[in-house]
C-alpha cells in the first residue's frame, strides 16, 4: 500500500532534484520503463529525461506546485497538479503554467514514477 504522505514527500524530493539537476536522485525516483508525454506532445523515456538534465538543457529556477488530486489505488498513486515553472530550456528563458498527471507505483526497491504527462495551461 502507498500513502498520500509518502507520495507528497516523494513529489517534493522530485521537485528539488529537478531544480538542482540531481540526476542521481532522479535516477532513483524514475522507473526504468518510464514513459512521459511532455508539453510539446513528444513521448520521452527515463534516459531521455535524465539526458536533458545531464546536458544542462533544462534549468529550473523556480517550481511552484499546487496539488489538485491525489488518488491511491493499492500500490499505485495518481496525482494531478498545476505547476508554475520558471527557468530556461536550451538557453531560452521561459515562465509558464502546466498541468501534470504523474503515476507512482510501489516496487520492492521503492516507489517510482512509471508515467505521466504535462500540458501548458
Task: Please write the tens of the pLDDT for every residue from 14-42.
Answer: 999 999 999 999 999 999 999 999 999 99
Give me the pLDDT at residue 7, please. 98
Q: What is the chain's length?
A: 121
Task: Please write the tens of the pLDDT for every residue from 42-96.
Answer: 999 999 999 999 999 999 999 999 999 999 999 999 999 999 999 999 999 999 9
Distance set, CA 47 to CA 35, 43, 98, 119 (Å): 10, 12, 22, 21
Cell 532534484 belongs to which residue? Answer: 17
Domain that holds residue 81: 4-120
CATH number for the domain that contains residue 9: 3.10.450.50
pLDDT confidence band for 103 (50 / 70 / 90): very high
Task: Supply the pTM of this predicted model.
Answer: 0.94
Number of domains in the chain: 1
Give me the pLDDT at residue 31, please. 98
Write out the E strands in 7-50: 30-37, 43-45
Q: Is 66 left (phi over 0), alpha (psi -120 to 50) or beta?
A: beta
Amino acid at each position: 500500500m502507498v500513502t498520500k504522505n509518502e507520495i507528497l514527500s516523494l513529489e517534493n524530493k522530485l521537485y528539488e532534484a529537478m531544480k538542482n539537476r540531481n540526476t542521481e536522485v532522479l535516477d532513483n525516483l524514475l522507473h526504468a520503463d518510464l514513459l512521459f508525454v511532455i508539453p510539446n506532445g513528444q513521448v520521452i523515456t527515463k534516459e531521455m529525461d535524465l539526458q536533458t538534465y545531464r546536458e544542462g538543457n533544462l534549468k529550473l529556477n523556480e517550481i511552484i506546485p499546487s496539488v489538485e488530486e491525489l488518488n491511491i489505488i493499492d500500490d499505485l498513486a495518481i496525482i494531478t497538479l498545476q505547476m508554475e515553472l520558471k527557468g530556461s530550456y536550451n538557453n531560452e528563458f521561459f515562465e509558464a503554467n502546466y498541468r501534470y498527471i504523474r503515476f507512482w507505483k510501489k516496487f520492492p526497491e521503492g516507489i517510482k514514477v512509471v508515467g505521466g504527462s504535462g500540458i501548458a495551461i
